[in-house]
Amino acid sequence: MNSVLLNTVFISCLLLAACKKKQPPVNPEVPVNLLKIKAQRVLYYDKYPATTQALNQVTLLPQVSGAITGVFFKEGSHIRKGEKLYEIDKRLYQAAYDQAEANLKVSEGNLVQAQQDADRYVYLNKYNAVAEQLYDHAIITLQNAKNTVKASEQTVKTAKTNLIYAIVYAPFDGTIGISQVRLGEVVSPGVTVLNTVSSDNPMAVDFIINEKNLPFFERLQNNKQHPVDSLFTILLPDNTLYPYTGNISVIDRAVDSQTGSITIRLVFPNQEGLLRVGMSCVVRVHNQDTAPQLVVPGKAVVEQMGEYFVFVAKDTVITNPQAKTDTGRIKKELIVIQKKVQVGQTIGANEIIKSGINAGDKIVIDGVQSLHNGSQITTANKMGPSAGGKH
């Protein structure tokens, strides 16, 4: 029993002695990478979601009723103005036109006869050789014959118009879609949709901007000679760059009071037909600011509650009165100061900083998650920043 007690006391003493051993000091310095900021000229674009639109688009509706007897185009193809597209059964309209022409000839014959009778009675009336009633009837008959000819001419025009409407022609150059009717299908005027034709060269691209940016785009519209050739470009749905540049065509008449936005329309050439109506794309507006700007890696920027910060390294002097030597009492250290910045355009993995830091500042680009305002840092045993720069 005594031996067990002695062993227990001995082990307790060993544990107490171990606990009293001095723990190694905690290093307060956070290892980081630094990058010295330099002002540089950068190429970037403001980007806006956009949709392609036709400058001119029309839905084809028949003007007369009847069965479709001909379809003369290839669906989805390019068509020319005046090209024959559809034919509606025109036999009834041809017959109506022929009948109207015949009635016109009869009316013209009656007019000739009435004119001759009137001329005869006018001559006889000069010498009081005819009854006044017969003279009056001859003049009235002549006027009626003239009116009948005019009515017959209008009937001919109507019949001719209906006959012309039996053929549907392309209203302008463009692309025609998939036919909504087939051979033999009966169509009704103003009701049945035949097809849709949209212009395809040039092509419009619409995008929406905030009203705060409206003065900038108005200046671009008024300045016909842009300093940058590629001021307006677009990225296609597969993220490839469209090979042609565009120009501002229209700025919409009014700002949407609910959203504070307004539509801008660009126009792009489309000789190869790469642009189709309704495509989603991205409008890129070339940066017009040629002044050098501050560019930092995006990983150096910290977002907090909608605000953005970077950590700037500062040399500081730390005094330790317990040190035995003068050099030990005064020691230079690196600390970080958290600075609020205004970020601009994102360029790949980098961010443009509009304000908050200056050229020549050294910012932390690695290890920002472990920092707070006033943290001590060290660059010892750290690799150089991948972005390249001076430490």
Domains along the chain with CATH numbers = 30-42+291-378 (2.40.420.20), 47-55+198-286 (2.40.30.170), 90-165 (1.10.287.470)
Distance CA 188, CA 84 (A): 19
Per DSSP, the chain holds a count of helices (H) and strands (E) of 5, 24
Residue percentage of the chain with pLDDT more than 70: 84
Query: 98 and 105 in contact (C-beta within 8 Å)?
Result: no
3-state secondary structure of 248: strand
pTM score of the predicted model: 0.65
Digit-coded pLDDT (tens) for 94-142: 999 999 999 999 999 999 999 998 999 888 888 888 888 888 898 999 9
HEC assignment per residue over 308-350: EEEEEEEEEEEECCCCCCHHHHEEEEEEEEEEEEEEEEEECCE
Residue 124 C-alpha from the chain's centroid? 82
**pLDDT for 325:** 59
Q: Which of 164, 246, 172 is nearest to 202 (CA)?
A: 246
Distance CA 311, CA 362 (A): 9
Distance CA 181, CA 86 (A): 10
User: Strands 57-60 and 66-71, how do they pair?
Assistant: unpaired
**pLDDT for 31:** 86
Residue ranges in the chain whose pLDDT is less than 70? 1-27, 224-230, 288-290, 318-331, 381-391
**pLDDT for 318:** 66
**pLDDT for 390:** 40
Question: What's phi and psi for 107, nearest 5 deg?
Answer: -65, -40
Burial 2-34, CB ≥16 within 10 A → b, else e? eeeeeeeeeeeeeeeeeeeeeeeeeeeebebbb
Q: Which of 255, 256, 252 is nearest to 266 (CA)?
A: 252
Digit-coded pLDDT (tens) for 232-253: 999 999 999 999 999 999 999 9
- Locate 365 and state its tokens: 């680009």
**pLDDT for 85:** 97
Q: What angle do CA 196, 201, 203 make, to 5 degrees?
A: 80
3-state secondary structure of 307: strand
DSSP conformation class of 113: H
Helices within the chain (DSSP H only): 2-19, 91-126, 132-165, 214-222, 326-329
